[in-house]
Amino acid sequence: MKIKSFLFTTIIAAAILTSCKKDPVADPNQLTIDNGGVLTGTYTTGQKVTVTGGTITLKGYTYFEGGSSLTIAPGTIIKSDISQKGALIIERNAQIFAEGTAALPIVFTSGKAVGQRNPGDWGGVILLGNATTNRVTEPTIEGGVGKKYGGTNNADNSGIVKYVRIEFAGIADAPGSEINGLTLGGVGSGTTLDYIQVTYGNDDAYEFFGGTVNAKHLIGYATADDDFDFDFGYSGKIQYGFALRNPEFVDGGDAGNNIECDNDASGSTATPFTKPNLSNFTLLGPNGAANTASNHNFAMRWRRNTQFLMNNSILLGQAKGGLSLESNGTYDAFIAGTSEFKNNLIYTLLAPFRIGSDVSTAGATGAAVETKALASGSVLLTSSTGAGIVSPFNLTAPNPLLGSGSAALIGAAFTGAQNDPFFDKVTYKGAFGGSSNWASGWTNFSFTKTPTGY
């Protein structure tokens, strides 16, 4: 009887203890946004936000401060609020994990209905990091965002952006202070950028302000201003860049280039010099199409004392020029071999090789640039078909692959600074070879050809 009594007492006590035990308290820093939810405001240190999928709204300038993070599920569609135009700002020491898939890309887009969307319907995506710039003091990112970037950690990691589309972005806080489709300020090489398409951006598709971030598989489609813009000491590596411009759509106040690059706005000798290391780009201009807007400009505008490596690429159909070198410092670096333009194919409607009116170096001419380029393995084509791309200028269904017998299928080389593990050592020139279309499935080129009402 005593044993039974003891067991009964023990069971009752255990039951009482169990009934007094509290349910686990949810971590207030673990935030979940489900289908139909809103991403807005400021997320502070320690807060980890997970977007689980479906369609959500980005409302106003939305900040992730240092120590916070944002994770977005594959297939998520993030639409900007119409009245409070959204912008997503990932600040220094914060991280974004937007990792879609080829079958389920993540899409940032306008909140307007299909058929009513336009460039500039919302801000864009901004990543800020701790990597070096050539500014003496920490710069503030453009666009009225009011946040600083840059530092000394070139291996800084802002997260992952992969299989992502950014559509109808680009708003200006003031002239010369815009939010681009994807803006990168001082972003470090620990960050992953891969398989990204920026579509109908009202300013640049991509702008890199300093930093060391590397990237692959970047697309700029129907950009108003520049497809790729580099400033303030950017020194990262990019392979496989594709730019397709809409002849009827371009920035009304500035000339639109496939690439524009400055050391800084004043063309100073501040270090590190802006020196992007680029390979396997396919850059397409309007190619003389009917109704081409007058502000379409160059394939590459290297200016204001910048340096560059641009190899194994194809430049076709630009309206006013191909390789443009502006300022004495830019020209001198190219002639000296500090900058490279090697193993490229080029056809433009005007001036495939040119210098700016600000170049005063003795003997400097466009002919001297051409001589240097052709001696370095580049080839001047006689027509836009000479590169052998299957269907490069089809705005709604481009086929950027190289056809059988294309001159671009062979001849790529990776030497010097491009003999680097980052670069795939492919044999072909341009962003695509002859068989595998890495843009298939996750991209969208099906918008109309007119410049409004997509």
Per-residue pLDDT of 251-299, as tens digits, reads 988 899 999 999 999 999 999 999 999 999 999 999 999 999 999 999 9
Evaluated on CA atoms 284, 193, 142, 133, the torsion sign reads negative
Q: Give SS3 for 415.
A: coil
**H or E segment and range at residue 5:** helix 2-20
* Residue 432 forms part of a structural domain: no
Q: Write b or e for each residue in 116-148: b if 16 or more Cβ atoms lie within 10 A of its Cβ, otherwise e.
A: ebebbbbbbbbbbbbbbbbbeeebbbbbbbebb
* Residue 235 forms part of a structural domain: yes
Q: What is the pLDDT of residue 5?
A: 44
For residue 61, give Cα distances in angstroms to 111, 149, 179, 337. Answer: 15, 17, 11, 44
For residue 163, give Cα distances in angstroms to 27, 50, 114, 142. Answer: 30, 18, 22, 25
* Residue 429 forms part of a structural domain: no
Q: What is the pLDDT of residue 7?
A: 42
Q: Count how many domains the chain has.
A: 1
Contact 353, 326 (CB under 8 A): no
**H or E segment and range at residue 330:** helix 328-336
Q: What is the pLDDT of residue 16?
A: 41
Q: What is the pLDDT of residue 15?
A: 45
> Token pair of 365, please?
């001419």
* Residue 3 forms part of a structural domain: no
* Residue 91 forms part of a structural domain: yes
* Residue 326 forms part of a structural domain: yes
* Residue 431 forms part of a structural domain: no
Contact 104, 77 (CB under 8 A): no
DSSP state for residue 117 in the 8-state scheme: -
Q: What is the pLDDT of residue 124?
A: 97
Structural domain including 263 reads: 33-418
* Residue segments in the chain with a per-residue pLDDT below the cut of 50: 1-21
Contact 371, 408 (CB under 8 A): no
Contact 402, 428 (CB under 8 A): yes
> Token pair of 1, please?
């009887």
* Residue 446 forms part of a structural domain: no
Q: What is the pLDDT of residues 110-138, one digit of tens each?
A: 999 999 999 999 999 999 999 999 999 99
